Structure 1
Amino acid sequence: MSVDVNGKKILVGSKVKIIHINPRITEFLPVEEVRDINSMLHDILEVYEVSEEYVRVEKIFNRGEGRTESHRLTLLSDEFELIDN
């Protein structure tokens, strides 16, 4: 079972607010990817996977002309807050 920064239980489908993104994950990425990932800070996203230690979220970016791109984050408990369950 994973919990948020306040110890609240997280389930698949829970909405969480990203409150911290570890800068090490973007250390060697291209500038465009860093911009996308950093834009996820303070976003409210749906959890699609839960483990004992982390949750995973995804954000889809519209690139125009029917093209999309997505980025997924693996977050530890101190990096997100439950918004609803």
Structure 2
Amino acid sequence: MKPALAALSIMMFINAWNEYLWPSLVLRNSDALVQIGIRSFMGAEGNNWGAVMAASGLACLPIFLIYIFLQRHVVDAFVRSGLK
């Protein structure tokens, strides 16, 4: 049960981390969101694609680190789900 719960928690964290619309509607101070901060690099004068890509890379870093540390549990859950 432990690998399945670990894989589920990783998938739920990724889903919550990638959320954009709901937190921007609910939070009063939506400047605290990473995705809103990345969106602020795009403006009417033009898009700063270098800054957007750098911020996107940094926003993906927590997801990569969590997956690297818990990769064993994710793979184990996916392998065990096919066995009976």
Answer whether TM exceeds 0.5 for this pair: no
Q: Is the radius of gyration larger for structure 1 or structure 2? A: 2
Specify which structure has the higher proportion of helix: 2
TM range (shorter): under 0.3
Specify which structure has the higher proportion of strand: 1
